[in-house]
């Protein structure tokens, strides 16, 4: 007889796996993307505030964790290829699967991102 909590645990683990794979896929995109100034950490929640122009049609972010580092990526797709002088901020928070500890936070090119 299967314990009652086993199906729920299976669903949670599957969702965690899918989220990790999506982050891993996007963190491998070409280039470092749009630079992120800094990040904040409170407990196991990592937050950052990317700034995008009004011509941005799609903004994508990713967080990929390993034992050695946390990779934080942010990319913008702009319809005309031009950025405007207007800037809009967004607040993004991500719950890490394990505490940050001594792991550095870097962009996909490996450049460190400073703590705010």
pLDDT digits (tens, 9 = 90+) for 44-96: 999 988 776 666 677 778 888 989 999 988 877 766 656 556 666 778 888 99
| pLDDT above 90 for 41 | yes
What's the rounded Cα separation, in Å, for the pair 8 and 5?
A: 5
pLDDT at res. 46: 92
Q: Which residues, in sequence order, are CB contacts of 108 under 8 Å at separation 6+?
A: 27, 28, 29, 31, 32, 33, 71, 73
Q: Name the band, by pLDDT with cuts 50, 70 and 90, for residue 31.
A: very low
- Give 60 or 112, the one with higher predicted confidence: 112
SS3 letters for 22-91? HHHHHHCCCCCECCCCEEEEECCEEEECCEECCCEEEEEEEEEECCCCEEEEEEEEECCCCCCCCCEECC
pLDDT of residue 27: 47
pLDDT at 32 over 80: no
Give CA angle at 72 (18, 86), nearest 5°: 115
Say if residues 86 and 52 touch (Cβ distance below 8 Å): no
State the chain's mean pLDDT as an integer: 76
At 29, the pLDDT band (50, 70, 90 cuts) reads very low
CA distance 36 to 26: 16
What pLDDT is stored for residue 64 in this prediction? 87
Q: Which of these, 61, 36, 29, 40, lies nearest to 50 by C-alpha position?
A: 36
């Amino acid at each position: 007889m299967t314990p009652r909590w086993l199906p729920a645990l299976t669903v949670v683990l599957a969702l965690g796996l899918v989220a990790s794979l999506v982050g891993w896929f996007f963190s491998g995109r070409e280039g470092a993307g749009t630079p992120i100034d800094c990040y904040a950490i409170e407990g196991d929640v990592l937050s950052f505030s990317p700034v995008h122009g009004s011509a941005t049609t799609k903004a994508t972010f990713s967080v990929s964790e390993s034992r050695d580092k946390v990779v934080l990526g942010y990319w913008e797709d702009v319809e005309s290829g031009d950025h405007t002088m207007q800037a809009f901020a967004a607040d993004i928070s991500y719950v890490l699967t394990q505490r940050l500890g001594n792991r550095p936070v870097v962009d996909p090119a490996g450049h460190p991102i400073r703590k705010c």
